[in-house]
Structure 1
Amino acid sequence: MSYTLPSLMPDGPPFDEVIDVRAPQEFAEDHMPGAINLPVLSDAERARVGTIYVQQDRFLARKIGAALVARNAAAHIEGPLADRGGGWRPLVYCWRGGQRSNAFASILAQIGWRVEVLDGGYRSYRRLVSRRLYEAPLGLRLIVVDGGTGSGKTELLHRIAAVGGQIVDLEGLARHRGSNFGAMPGGQPAQKMFESQLARALDRQDPARPVFVEAESNAIGRLRLPPSLWTAMGRAETLRLEASSEARGRFLTTTYPDLTADADLLARRIDTLRPYHSRDQVAAWHAMAAEGRHAEMARDLIERHYDRRYRDNSGGRTEIGRIDLGGLDETDLDRAAERALRIAERVPVE
C-alpha cells in the first residue's frame, strides 16, 4: 500500500485523486500540485494532540488522535467522498507518510477502495522540488525578455505562448508584478508553494526548445528565485524590448487597473517612493493621481524613477535581438511575439 514518487510528475500521478490529510495550515503553505485537502486533524486538533504528546502522555495522545481521525474520516466519507465509486484509486499523504495518512488509508481500504500511501509523505515530494531548484542544473535554454518598466514584458510572454512558444510566467506564479506598484490582490503564495508551482512549470517545458522568462531581480516581491533558476537566468540570452516612455505610460494604465480604480491604494503605493525622491516630487505624483492623469503620472514615474534605477537589467547576458514595440497596441504586441519566437529559434527575421 506504499507508493514511491518517481518524479515531480507534471502530468499527474497514476491515481484518480491525490489527498493531502495534513492540517489546513500545512496544506496552505504548500502541497503537491492538484491535491485536495481532507484533513484528519484540524489545526486546533493537531496542536492539542501534539501538546499532549510532548507534555503529558504519548499513549493518551495517540488514543485521542485516533478518535479524532476516525471522526474526521467519517465526515469526509459521508461528505466530499460520498460520490466516489468502487473503482476509485486515491493516493494519500501526510507530512512523512506516518500515522495520519496510514490511519486514513486503512479506513478507505476497508471500504474497498484501492488506496496507496505516498512513501515518505510530503517530505519526499519536497525533496524532489528542492533538488530540482536548489541542486540540479536547470537543463533549459532560457531567453530572458528584458526592457524598461511598462514595455509589456509579461503581456508579450503570453502572446508568445499563444503562437506556440514556451514560457514560464514568474510574476504570475509569484502573484506580484515586481515593482513598488506590483502587489496583486490576494497577496503572494508562501515560498514553498511558489517553488512547487515553479518546479511543475519548468518540468513541463521541452528542453529541446527555448523557454522565455521575464527579466527579474533575484526576488519578486517577498519571494526569492531559487538558485538553479537564478543561475540559468544569469547565463541566458537576452531579448530586449524598446518603446517610448509615452507608449509605456499608456500601457501601464491598462495593466494596473486595480490601482487606477482605487485612489487610496494608489496613494499608498506612491508613498513607498518617499525614500527615493523629494517631497515635492512625490506630491506632484499624488496630484496627478488625484486629478486622474494616470497615463501622465505613469510616464513621469518611468522617466524619473524606473528608467534611472533599472536602465539595464541584462547582467552581462548575450543579447540576441531587439524588438521595437511601437505604440504597444494589440498589433504591435502580436507582431513582436512572432518576431521574438523567430529570433529565439534562430529563424531568419525579415
Structure 2
Amino acid sequence: MAVKPDIVTLDRIGEFDTLIDARTPAEFALDHLPGAVNLPVLDDEQRRLVGTIYKQAGAFEARRIGGAWVARNIARHVERTMQDKPAHWRPLVYCWRGGQRSGSFVLWLRQIGWAAAQLQGGYKGYRRWVVEQLQALPPTLRWRVVGGPTGSGKTRLLRALAARGAQVLDLEALARHRGSILGAWPDGQPQPSQKAFDTALVDALRRFDPARPVWVEAESRKIGAVQLPQALVDALQRAPRVQVEAPFAARLALVLEDYAWLGRDRQALAQRLTALRGLQPNDTLARWQTWALAGRLTELFAELMTHHYDPLYRRSQDRSGVPPWRTVPVAALDADGLNRAASDLLNDTGQGTHA
C-alpha cells in the first residue's frame, strides 16, 4: 500500500529541516529521536486528564476536551517558535505511534502552507528500529578494546586516539557513569534512561566507518544503571584487546585527580562505600569510611585500588581466558605519555598518526 505524501518513513528524516516531537515533556525526557525539539500538543497533566476522561466519560468527551487543548498548544507553538520560518520550511512531526497528536500538528502546519509531514509509526516505530540496530551494527565493526586496571588512563588514552583521527566509542560518556561504585558523574548529573542510552549508542555506531578500527574501553555488561546490548558485549569479547600497564603511583595520582570532587561531600562518600558491605571485611570498610569522613582520600583510594579494584580486575581477566593482543607500558599518565601511547597504537595498526 502506498504511503501518503504527508507520511514518511525513517529513512527520509534527512530531507526535513526540523524534527518535532509532539509528545509530552516527560515522554521527551525519557528518550527522543536525535536532534528533535519538543513542542508538545498536550502537556503531562493534560495528557493524564484526557486519559482519565476517556476511561470515565468515553472517547468523544476526551476528544472534545483534549481537542481544545491541542488547538491552543499548537497555536502557541506557531506564535512562539515558528514566526520566523520561511514558506519553504519543512518540519517532520512525530508522536508515540504516529497517531492523532502528530497528525493534528501536521494538519495545522500544512493548512498554514508549510510542507509538514508525519513520521510513520512515530516514536514506537523508531524504538523498534533502534533495538534492531543494536543487534545488527556491533558485529559489522572492527573493534579494538583498551583494558587495564583502575587508574590506567584508559579514557584519556581514548581521547588521545580520537585527537589523532581514530574512531572512538566512549561508552562511559554516553552512560554518564564510570562503571564502578564511585563512578557516578560529578555534581549529581543523572544517567540517561536505558532508552536514551540506546538511542545515543545507535547514533554513535551508525557514524563509524566499518573499514576502520573502532577503539573502545573494556566495560562490563552494566555501566551504572544502563546495560550494553548483548551483540556489543559479544563483539567486544571477541575483539583484540590492548592492555595498558602503568606504575601504581601514577595510577593513584590519576584516580585522585579524577575523583577529587568526591571529597566535597565526605558524608556522601562514606555512604557510597556501604555498597561494599559483604564484599570487604567489616573492619576494612569501617576504616575506609573513617578516612572518607576525614577527607583522607590518598589512603582511601590506595587501599580501594589494592584491596578491591585491582583484585576485581584480575578476576575478570582470569575469567576471560583471552590474552591481550598487545601490552602498552605507559610510564607517566600525563599528556605526553598518553599521546606517545596513542601514536604507537595507531602506527601498530597501520593507521598512522592522522588516520
What TM-score does the superposition give when structure 2 sets the normalisation length? 0.91
Code of the aligned partner of 1:75:
R
Distance 1:238 1:91, change over 3 A: same
Q: What is the DSSP-based 3-state SS (H/G/I as helix, E as strand, rest coil) of the residue aligned with 1:6?
A: helix
After TM superposition, list the pairs within 5 Å mapping 1:129-144 onto structure 2. 129-134=130-135, 138-144=139-145
Deviations 1:107-160 (A, max 9, x none): 111111111111111122112111111356530011111100111111111111
Determine the structure 2 residue equivalent to 1:324.
329
The one of 321, 324, 336 aligned to 2:341 = 336
Determine the structure 2 residue equivalent to 1:286.
289
Distance 2:298 2:25 in 1: 43
Determine the structure 2 residue equivalent to 1:175.
176
Distance 2:142 2:315 in 1: 21
Determine the structure 2 residue equivalent to 1:112.
113
After TM superposition, list the pairs within 5 Å mapping 1:158-307 onto structure 2. 158-184=159-185, 185-307=188-310
Higher helix share: 2
> What's the CA shift for 1:312?
5.0
**RMSD of the TM alignment (CA)?**
1.9
- Note if contact 2:21-2:38 (Cα within 8 Å) is conserved in structure 1: yes
- Note if contact 2:137-2:206 (Cα within 8 Å) is conserved in structure 1: no
Q: What is the DSSP-based 3-state SS (H/G/I as helix, E as strand, rest coil) of the residue aligned with 1:311?
A: helix
- Note if contact 1:210-1:345 (Cα within 8 Å) is conserved in structure 2: no
Code of the aligned partner of 1:324:
P
Structure 2 alignment gaps of length 5 or more: 1-5
Distance 1:19 1:228, change over 3 A: same
Distance 1:142 1:312, change over 3 A: farther
Structure 1 alignment gaps of length 5 or more: none
Determine the structure 1 residue equivalent to 2:149.
148
What is the percentage of aligned positions where both structures have the same residue? Answer: 48
What TM-score does the superposition give when structure 1 sets the normalisation length? 0.93
Distance 1:328 1:291 in 2: 28
Distance 1:142 1:318, change over 3 A: farther
Q: What is the DSSP-based 3-state SS (H/G/I as helix, E as strand, rest coil) of the residue aligned with 1:97?
A: coil
Determine the structure 2 residue equivalent to 1:64.
65
Distance 1:295 1:336 in 2: 27
Runs of 4+ in structure 1 deviating by more than 6 angstroms, as ranges, are none
Distance 1:195 1:345 in 2: 31
Q: What is the DSSP-based 3-state SS (H/G/I as helix, E as strand, rest coil) of the residue aligned with 2:324?
A: strand
Q: More displaced, 280-289 or 166-175?
A: 280-289
Distance 2:234 2:28 in 1: 29
- Note if contact 1:237-1:318 (Cα within 8 Å) is conserved in structure 2: no
Distance 1:278 1:147, change over 3 A: same
Distance 1:279 1:210 in 2: 45
Distance 1:70 1:186 in 2: 36
Distance 1:287 1:343 in 2: 46
